[in-house]
Structure 1
Amino acid sequence: MIQEWKTLRGNAIPGAAGRLTVTLAPDCGRLVLRLRPRDRAAAETVLGVALPERIGGLDAASESFAVCLGPDEWYLLLPEDVARTAGERLSAALGAPFSLVDVGHREVGIAVEGPAATLALSSLCALDLDAMPTGSATRTILDKAQAVLIKHDAEHYRIEVWQSFADHVWTLLAAVSREIGLDI
């Protein structure tokens, strides 16, 4: 039996003098979708969010987000009620093979916001986050933890990380927050 395990629920890292806020991101349904490119339009209608064509692309509609992680792979953040029925609705609409995996039990979201958000994440990530386009996402490594990093804008990121690595990432972000607060 799978148990719900969200060790960071309700937690927030104390702010760094208004420059950085790290909180648990709002919970949602998390799905990984793989399908043939020609079935994209039908899937978009069912899911209510566009599936970006470009790897690293991000699209948002209301409370739904779709990240293109590969030529035929999307990471979806959807309201829980939409995610719960997505498989049945896609099956009815597509009539073609596809893969939809619920990864909500393994992932947790962390919101990193504020003027020092890019600085904080740059201490954990080898990517040049200043060069990362606004409204994009990527798979990356934060220290030793695999994650999906979403950049809404220069002051607003979302990390999707496996729950087994969430405490590690959280602890690193707490240390970085302290250093930013002390202007180290």
Structure 2
Amino acid sequence: MIRAFFALTLPELVVEQIERLQDAIPFGRASAPDTLHLTLAFLGEVTPETLEAAHEAAETLAPDPFAVELRGLQLLGRPPGGVLAAGVAPEPRLDALAASLRSRLAGARISLPRERFRPHVTLLRLKPGDADEATLARALGRHADFRAGPVPVTGMSLFRSTLGPKGARHEEMARYPFDPIDGRDNF
């Protein structure tokens, strides 16, 4: 079985902005810079055959490039655990991209473990005891005006995720450029 997901990668400038924000929050376990991404569709644990079908479904996507902006900070999950994440400014083309990808995956008979698309970038993972409710509220308030971007959406990637004691390690398996001049990477 292979744990996999489709995501947008982030430019280095945005990663640097996120790292500064992570450094300003004195609790939680920061996501490593090389794992920062915006998930479009989480496949979960799949067989190699299902992964191949997902790859074939994704190859048919070719929207026009666009950009998104990271905006604000939000708590996902229930305290005392969960994650702190950067939100994403509303962008209909991002929603349409995620819906198109999910539709193609459904057409390939691939069911996703997480049905709802809630765009975000995970910044910090929280465990019980990391921060009380008042500390969380202060951090959310202090960084409510966080902005990063633009994040150019010129393609998406298929990642393999391997979980380890120090967190996940992500390996890009395929890239799907939206500009036809760029061509397609082999799977």
TM-score by structure 1 length? 0.27
TM-score by structure 2 length? 0.27
Answer 1 or 2: higher relative contact order, Cα 8 Å, separation at least 6.
2
